[in-house]
Amino acid sequence: MSMKLRQSGLHWPFILSLVGVIILVMLGNWQMQRKTWKSNLIQLVQERIYSEPVGIETLSQRALEGKDIRYQPVKVTGTYDFAHERFYFLPFKNQTGWHVFTPLALASGDIVFIDRGFVPEDFKQQSARRDGLPLGKLEIEGLARPFQDEQGMFVPDNNAAKNQWYWRDRKALYDSLPGYQGQRFAFMIDVKSNAQYGKWPRAGVTRVKFQDKHLGYALTWYGLALTLVGVFGAFAFVRLRS
């Protein structure tokens, strides 16, 4: 077989086609794995966001036990520390802006970061959103979101000095709070609503609806693999006949 391929000039086209088919099939298999992951995520979110909120102590214990706490509704009572807001760059609906991470001081002395939502660049300064700075002890309800374990390959470095954050680095965020040495929660809380405190920050922007197009992508890769097999087969048939 190998000698016949060499004699007909099909040796290298066969090898290259085989490599191409293997790569395309691997890409299709990867998309099927992604489909399984996405389907599980969609099911988790839809089941969890409508569940009863738990207290922060319960949620913290679950996190320490290694349980999945993503999108778990949670209630917590505390006082916002607006002097140490942190700004996380994340556009919303094609609008450039920031998510406002505000430390919430608890009665225990601990601090948990609250993602209070999105503000456009023009409303980043507190002077432009005075009505969005509620004072005193508040009960906050939102969804638990774990910090990010590592910086993405194409994500810029955080700049704590300029208060510009591009990934949710748990240690760096807590270390940026002067004098704080308390417990460092393994999660943030995306607040459910700020509507009673003005327009900005705009809360409730946590993404809870996901599209699952991975089956279509997988079929595309598998289809390309079959097409490559067909193209090589037709080319080889003509070459062998001649």
For residue 43, give the H/E element and its range. Answer: helix 11-48
Judged against a pLDDT cut of 80, whether residue 187 lies above it is answered with: yes
24-34 burial code (b ≥16 CB/10 A, e <16): bbebbeebbeb
Average pLDDT (155-162) is 88
H/E stretch holding 38 reads helix 11-48
- Exposed, middle or buried: residue 117 (CB in 10 Å: 0-12, 13-18, 19+)? buried
Higher pLDDT, residue 185 or 26:
26
User: Which pLDDT score, from 0 to 100, does residue 24 have?
Assistant: 92
Cα 39 to Cα 121: distance, rounded to the nearest angstrom? 35
Buried b or exposed e, range 194-220, using 16+ CB within 10 angstroms: beebeebbbbebbeeeeeeebeebbee
The whole-angstrom separation of Cα 57 and Cα 74 is 10
Measured distance CA(162)–CA(99) in Å, rounded:
15
Chain centroid offset of residue 135 CA: 31
Does the pLDDT value for residue 16 go beyond 60? yes
d(CA 204, CA 36): 27
pLDDT in tens, 65-82: 888 888 888 898 999 998
pTM higher than the cut 0.75: no
Distance CA 105, CA 130 (A): 20
Q: Is the pLDDT of residue 1 over 60?
A: no
- Phi first, then psi, for residue 227 (nearest 5°) are -60, -40
What integer pLDDT is reported at residue 4 of this predicted model? 58
